[in-house]
Amino acid sequence: MGNSASVRIPAAIMEAANLRVNAAVDVRGEHIVIEPLREAQYDLDGLQAGITPENLHGEVDFGPPIGKEPP
């Protein structure tokens, strides 16, 4: 993208609008629209529902405890 244009947005505006560097940019009619990224919402039930025999991995032995972690 050698000849791409860029837009500078002050940090205070980025924070107030909950914008991140990789926010979605779109053109709607004659308007350039920059939308904040929505953080994915996860819940335990939804994550567990995605577990299948194909993506379930076996137990991994990391060796004995080292330090103050419980055995």
Q: What percent of the chain has pLDDT over 70?
A: 97
Phi and psi angles of residue 24, each rounded to the nearest 5 degrees, phi first: -70, 135
Sign of CA dihedral 50, 56, 59, 60: negative
Residues in the chain, overall count: 71
What's residue 2's pLDDT? 72
Interval 1-16 mean pLDDT: 85
Interval 19-36 mean pLDDT: 88
Q: Which pTM value belongs to this model? A: 0.41
